[in-house]
Homo-oligomer: A and B are copies of this chain.
Amino acid sequence: MAGEVAPDASTLRPTQDQRGLSKSQAAYQWVKARIADGSYSPGYRLVLGQIAKELGVSVVPVREAIRMLEAEGMVTFERNIGAQVAMIDPREYEITMQTLSLVEGAATAMAAPLISVDALRRAREINDEMADTLAHFDPASFTRLNLEFHSVLFEACPNPHILDLVHRGWNRLRALRESTFSFVPGRARESVAEHSALLDLITGGADALQIELSARNHRLATLDAFLAQQAQANAPAQKGADQ
Protein backbone atom coordinates (compact mmCIF):
# COMPACT_ATOMS: atom_id res chain seq x y z
CA MET A 1 0.00 0.00 0.00
CA ALA A 2 1.56 3.32 -1.10
CA GLY A 3 2.72 5.52 1.73
CA GLU A 4 2.44 2.79 4.29
CA VAL A 5 4.49 3.31 7.44
CA ALA A 6 4.68 1.02 10.43
CA PRO A 7 2.69 2.51 13.31
CA ASP A 8 4.43 3.64 16.48
CA ALA A 9 3.68 1.12 19.19
CA SER A 10 4.04 3.53 22.10
CA THR A 11 1.13 4.84 24.21
CA LEU A 12 -1.34 2.25 23.02
CA ARG A 13 -4.02 2.34 25.69
CA PRO A 14 -6.29 5.18 26.83
CA THR A 15 -4.55 6.83 29.75
CA GLN A 16 -6.05 7.86 33.06
CA ASP A 17 -6.45 11.34 31.58
CA GLN A 18 -9.01 9.97 29.16
CA ARG A 19 -11.24 8.36 31.78
CA GLY A 20 -14.03 10.81 31.03
CA LEU A 21 -14.02 9.97 27.32
CA SER A 22 -16.03 7.34 25.58
CA LYS A 23 -13.97 4.66 23.86
CA SER A 24 -14.96 5.98 20.49
CA GLN A 25 -13.79 9.50 21.41
CA ALA A 26 -10.52 8.13 22.73
CA ALA A 27 -10.00 6.14 19.55
CA TYR A 28 -10.80 9.22 17.47
CA GLN A 29 -8.22 11.30 19.27
CA TRP A 30 -5.64 8.51 19.08
CA VAL A 31 -5.98 7.97 15.37
CA LYS A 32 -6.18 11.69 14.67
CA ALA A 33 -2.99 12.28 16.64
CA ARG A 34 -1.19 9.60 14.65
CA ILE A 35 -2.27 11.12 11.39
CA ALA A 36 -1.18 14.57 12.60
CA ASP A 37 2.26 13.41 13.75
CA GLY A 38 2.90 11.44 10.57
CA SER A 39 2.87 7.96 12.11
CA TYR A 40 -0.04 7.23 9.80
CA SER A 41 0.93 8.86 6.53
CA PRO A 42 -1.31 9.54 3.51
CA GLY A 43 -2.50 6.29 1.95
CA TYR A 44 -1.78 4.24 5.06
CA ARG A 45 -4.28 1.41 5.49
CA LEU A 46 -6.18 1.66 8.78
CA VAL A 47 -7.03 -1.90 9.81
CA LEU A 48 -9.90 -1.67 12.25
CA GLY A 49 -9.19 -4.90 14.08
CA GLN A 50 -5.54 -3.98 14.64
CA ILE A 51 -6.37 -0.55 16.01
CA ALA A 52 -9.00 -2.11 18.25
CA LYS A 53 -6.44 -4.58 19.60
CA GLU A 54 -3.85 -1.87 20.15
CA LEU A 55 -6.35 0.24 22.07
CA GLY A 56 -7.82 -2.70 23.94
CA VAL A 57 -11.37 -2.08 22.71
CA SER A 58 -13.72 -3.73 20.23
CA VAL A 59 -14.02 -2.62 16.60
CA VAL A 60 -17.35 -0.90 17.22
CA PRO A 61 -15.98 2.29 18.81
CA VAL A 62 -13.08 2.22 16.35
CA ARG A 63 -15.55 2.27 13.47
CA GLU A 64 -17.32 5.24 15.04
CA ALA A 65 -14.01 7.08 15.33
CA ILE A 66 -13.14 6.38 11.71
CA ARG A 67 -16.58 7.64 10.64
CA MET A 68 -15.89 10.94 12.31
CA LEU A 69 -12.50 11.22 10.65
CA GLU A 70 -14.15 10.34 7.36
CA ALA A 71 -16.63 13.16 7.77
CA GLU A 72 -13.73 15.52 8.39
CA GLY A 73 -12.04 14.39 5.21
CA MET A 74 -8.96 13.05 6.99
CA VAL A 75 -9.75 9.44 6.12
CA THR A 76 -11.38 7.67 3.18
CA PHE A 77 -13.62 4.75 4.15
CA GLU A 78 -14.89 2.45 1.40
CA ARG A 79 -17.58 -0.14 1.97
CA ASN A 80 -16.22 -3.67 2.46
CA ILE A 81 -12.72 -2.44 1.60
CA GLY A 82 -11.75 -0.49 4.70
CA ALA A 83 -10.20 2.81 5.67
CA GLN A 84 -7.06 4.61 4.72
CA VAL A 85 -5.54 7.97 5.54
CA ALA A 86 -6.64 10.42 2.86
CA MET A 87 -4.13 11.09 0.12
CA ILE A 88 -2.89 14.60 -0.34
CA ASP A 89 -3.77 16.25 -3.61
CA PRO A 90 -0.50 17.35 -5.23
CA ARG A 91 -1.98 20.82 -5.59
CA GLU A 92 -3.17 20.84 -1.99
CA TYR A 93 -0.53 23.25 -0.75
CA GLU A 94 -1.37 25.80 -3.42
CA ILE A 95 -5.12 25.47 -2.94
CA THR A 96 -4.80 25.71 0.82
CA MET A 97 -2.58 28.77 0.66
CA GLN A 98 -4.96 30.49 -1.77
CA THR A 99 -7.91 29.81 0.47
CA LEU A 100 -6.02 30.82 3.57
CA SER A 101 -4.86 34.05 1.97
CA LEU A 102 -8.53 34.92 1.39
CA VAL A 103 -9.92 34.08 4.82
CA GLU A 104 -6.90 35.21 6.81
CA GLY A 105 -6.80 38.51 4.98
CA ALA A 106 -10.44 39.10 5.89
CA ALA A 107 -10.00 37.90 9.46
CA THR A 108 -7.04 40.21 9.94
CA ALA A 109 -8.99 43.18 8.60
CA MET A 110 -12.05 42.39 10.72
CA ALA A 111 -9.93 41.94 13.81
CA ALA A 112 -7.84 45.07 13.31
CA PRO A 113 -10.14 47.53 15.11
CA LEU A 114 -10.45 45.09 18.03
CA ILE A 115 -6.77 44.43 18.75
CA SER A 116 -5.48 45.83 22.03
CA VAL A 117 -2.37 47.97 22.31
CA ASP A 118 -0.75 45.21 24.36
CA ALA A 119 -1.42 42.69 21.64
CA LEU A 120 0.07 44.95 18.99
CA ARG A 121 3.14 45.42 21.11
CA ARG A 122 3.36 41.66 21.47
CA ALA A 123 3.13 41.28 17.70
CA ARG A 124 6.04 43.68 17.20
CA GLU A 125 8.11 41.77 19.75
CA ILE A 126 7.47 38.51 17.94
CA ASN A 127 8.43 40.05 14.63
CA ASP A 128 11.61 41.43 16.18
CA GLU A 129 12.37 37.96 17.47
CA MET A 130 11.81 36.62 13.98
CA ALA A 131 14.23 39.19 12.60
CA ASP A 132 16.80 38.13 15.19
CA THR A 133 16.59 34.50 14.10
CA LEU A 134 17.50 35.37 10.52
CA ALA A 135 21.20 35.40 11.42
CA HIS A 136 21.17 31.66 12.35
CA PHE A 137 18.06 30.55 10.55
CA ASP A 138 15.98 27.63 11.81
CA PRO A 139 12.90 27.08 9.62
CA ALA A 140 10.93 25.31 12.35
CA SER A 141 11.38 28.09 14.90
CA PHE A 142 10.69 30.75 12.31
CA THR A 143 7.49 29.01 11.30
CA ARG A 144 6.33 28.68 14.90
CA LEU A 145 6.94 32.38 15.50
CA ASN A 146 5.25 33.17 12.21
CA LEU A 147 2.02 31.51 13.35
CA GLU A 148 2.28 33.21 16.70
CA PHE A 149 2.62 36.57 15.00
CA HIS A 150 -0.33 36.07 12.72
CA SER A 151 -2.46 34.62 15.50
CA VAL A 152 -2.18 37.88 17.41
CA LEU A 153 -3.53 39.65 14.36
CA PHE A 154 -6.43 37.37 13.45
CA GLU A 155 -7.69 35.83 16.70
CA ALA A 156 -9.84 38.87 17.51
CA CYS A 157 -11.89 38.29 14.35
CA PRO A 158 -15.56 38.54 15.44
CA ASN A 159 -16.90 36.12 12.83
CA PRO A 160 -16.44 32.61 14.29
CA HIS A 161 -16.91 30.87 10.94
CA ILE A 162 -14.16 32.81 9.24
CA LEU A 163 -11.90 32.33 12.26
CA ASP A 164 -12.55 28.60 12.12
CA LEU A 165 -11.62 28.54 8.45
CA VAL A 166 -8.35 30.29 9.28
CA HIS A 167 -7.58 27.71 11.96
CA ARG A 168 -8.33 24.88 9.57
CA GLY A 169 -6.11 26.41 6.94
CA TRP A 170 -3.20 26.65 9.35
CA ASN A 171 -3.75 23.10 10.56
CA ARG A 172 -3.83 21.86 7.00
CA LEU A 173 -0.58 23.68 6.20
CA ARG A 174 1.04 22.03 9.20
CA ALA A 175 0.08 18.62 7.85
CA LEU A 176 1.33 19.43 4.36
CA ARG A 177 4.60 21.16 5.08
CA GLU A 178 6.69 21.38 8.18
CA SER A 179 7.84 24.68 6.89
CA THR A 180 7.78 26.42 3.56
CA PHE A 181 10.68 28.50 4.76
CA SER A 182 13.03 25.53 4.52
CA PHE A 183 12.35 25.52 0.79
CA VAL A 184 12.64 29.25 0.17
CA PRO A 185 15.00 30.57 2.83
CA GLY A 186 15.21 34.06 1.31
CA ARG A 187 11.50 34.44 1.82
CA ALA A 188 11.89 34.73 5.58
CA ARG A 189 13.60 38.12 5.38
CA GLU A 190 10.86 39.50 3.15
CA SER A 191 8.24 38.11 5.49
CA VAL A 192 9.60 40.01 8.45
CA ALA A 193 9.52 43.24 6.45
CA GLU A 194 5.98 42.59 5.32
CA HIS A 195 4.91 41.91 8.91
CA SER A 196 6.25 45.28 9.90
CA ALA A 197 4.36 47.00 7.11
CA LEU A 198 1.15 45.17 8.08
CA LEU A 199 1.53 46.27 11.68
CA ASP A 200 2.02 49.85 10.53
CA LEU A 201 -1.24 49.69 8.60
CA ILE A 202 -3.12 48.34 11.59
CA THR A 203 -1.72 50.75 14.13
CA GLY A 204 -2.14 53.60 11.66
CA GLY A 205 -5.88 52.85 11.47
CA ALA A 206 -5.73 52.10 7.75
CA ASP A 207 -8.78 51.23 5.66
CA ALA A 208 -10.05 47.66 6.22
CA LEU A 209 -9.67 46.71 2.59
CA GLN A 210 -6.06 47.86 2.58
CA ILE A 211 -5.32 45.75 5.63
CA GLU A 212 -7.09 42.78 4.15
CA LEU A 213 -5.25 42.94 0.86
CA SER A 214 -1.93 43.44 2.61
CA ALA A 215 -2.46 40.33 4.76
CA ARG A 216 -3.71 38.37 1.78
CA ASN A 217 -0.87 39.35 -0.51
CA HIS A 218 1.63 38.57 2.22
CA ARG A 219 0.43 34.97 2.25
CA LEU A 220 0.26 34.81 -1.53
CA ALA A 221 3.84 36.08 -1.78
CA THR A 222 4.99 33.08 0.26
CA LEU A 223 3.07 30.82 -2.09
CA ASP A 224 4.56 32.53 -5.12
CA ALA A 225 8.07 32.16 -3.72
CA PHE A 226 7.48 28.46 -3.19
CA LEU A 227 6.02 27.92 -6.65
CA ALA A 228 8.88 29.82 -8.26
CA GLN A 229 11.33 27.65 -6.36
CA GLN A 230 9.54 24.53 -7.54
CA ALA A 231 9.55 25.69 -11.14
CA GLN A 232 13.28 26.27 -10.90
CA ALA A 233 13.89 22.91 -9.30
CA ASN A 234 11.93 21.27 -12.13
CA ALA A 235 13.76 23.12 -14.90
CA PRO A 236 14.41 21.10 -18.12
CA ALA A 237 17.39 18.74 -18.20
CA GLN A 238 19.17 21.18 -20.54
CA LYS A 239 19.86 23.41 -17.59
CA GLY A 240 21.47 20.50 -15.79
CA ALA A 241 23.56 19.66 -18.88
CA ASP A 242 25.01 23.18 -18.89
CA GLN A 243 26.44 22.54 -15.48
1/0 contact trace for A23-38 toward B, CB 8 Å?
0110000000000000
- CA–CA, A99 to B161, complex, Å? 7
| Chain A interface residue number, banded | 20 to 34
- CA–CA, A197 to B21, complex, Å? 55
Choose from B21, B24, B67, B99 the contact partner of A68 (Cβ within 8 Å).
B67
- CA–CA, A67 to B106, complex, Å? 32
- Tell me the A49-65 residues at the B interface (CB within 8 Å): 60, 63-65
Choose from B25, B67, B71, B159 the contact partner of A99 (Cβ within 8 Å).
B159
Complex contacts, A70 vs chain B, CB 8 Å: 68, 71
Complex contacts, A65 vs chain B, CB 8 Å: 67
- Tell me the A114-166 residues at the B interface (CB within 8 Å): 159-162, 165
Q: Decide if A96 is an interface residue (CB 8 Å cutoff).
A: yes
- CA–CA, A115 to B25, complex, Å? 45
Complex contacts, A98 vs chain B, CB 8 Å: 159, 161-162
Jot down 13 A-B pairs with beta carbons below 8 A, ordered by A: A24-B67, A60-B60, A63-B64, A64-B67, A70-B71, A95-B159, A95-B160, A98-B161, A98-B162, A102-B102, A102-B103, A102-B106, A165-B165
